[in-house]
Amino acid sequence: MTAKIIEILGIVIMLFVVLGVHELGHLLSGLAQGFRFEIFVVGPLGIKRENNKIKVYLNKNIGHYGGIAATIPKNDNPENGKIFAKIILAGPIASLILALILVSLYFLLHLNNPIIILIGALASTGIFFVTLIPMKTGMFFSDGKRYQRLTSNGPEKEVELAVLRVMGSYAKNDSYINVNPNDIEIMISDEHYTYFGLFTKLTYQFEANGSFELETKNKFDELSKTMPKSMVKFSNKELDKLTK
């Protein structure tokens, strides 16, 4: 029984390592290109910049357990879009490298019970393919699709940059209060992010003024009728938390 418990704990730790390496790929790529560190979270471990100091903390937000990494530009370099694209691509690449390392260890190390390494290799391979394939997952795009949009010459690039800024601000503060309202409007203008944009705008309004603007709430409720029920349920639950 003890051996089984240790094996299960080992698998859980390995899965967090797999998630952490993916996010670390994003993070190190951003730092290597001169962006400023903002936050890194995987499982219960949280590291963030607060009052211009690096703080290590216990992450209690279950929604962040899957991993978050954010670096932001230090200036308004017109090349920031291309840099963000490289940062986005670095996550899947890190997952692929880890998968190859674990596969090599699986065959080179003649362990009696290599299940933990095998699960890590399979999980990292899965993350590589799932994040690299251009597609939409819920309200957001996969890394591969975001890379395509960030390297395009159309308005999609500005939308993705706005989304990255909004998500980075929320991850750091666990709040939308410091989000740039212009970024919210940019998201709303894109058909793929309208729902998330309206959700962000409602949250921003309540955190700033203590209430929702009726026009924004009506637009959000109307659009909710066309969205997946699970997404609407989650969004409404988050908005309900504000009013309690």
The answer as to whether 45 is a domain residue is yes
pLDDT at 79: 85
Q: Is position 27 within any domain?
A: yes
Please report whether residue 227 resides in a domain: no
Residue 144 lies in a domain: no
d(CA 4, CA 198): 47
pLDDT band at 24 (very low <50, low <70, confident <90, very high): very high
Instruction: Give the total residue count for the chain.
Output: 244
Please report whether residue 15 resides in a domain: yes
74 inside domain: yes
User: What confidence tens digit (pLDDT) does each residue in 110-119 have?
Assistant: 776 689 999 9
Mean pLDDT over the full length of the chain: 92
The answer to whether the CB of 95 falls within 8 A of the CB of 128 is yes
SS3 at position 36? strand
Residue 117 forms part of a structural domain: yes
| Domain count for the chain | 1
Q: What is the mean predicted confidence (pLDDT) over 172-200?
A: 93
Rounded distance between C-alpha atoms, residue 234 and residue 103, angstroms:
37
Residues 28-76 pLDDT 10s? 999 999 999 999 999 999 999 988 899 999 998 888 899 999 998 888 7
Q: DSSP 3-state helix, strand, coil percentages of the chain (rounded to 5)?
A: 65, 10, 25
Residue 214 lies in a domain: no
**pTM for the whole structure:** 0.83
Domain that holds residue 32: 2-132
pLDDT tens digits for range 216-232: 999 999 999 999 898 99
| Mean pLDDT of all residues in 70-91 | 89
Alpha-carbon gap, residue 205 to 110, rounded angstroms: 59
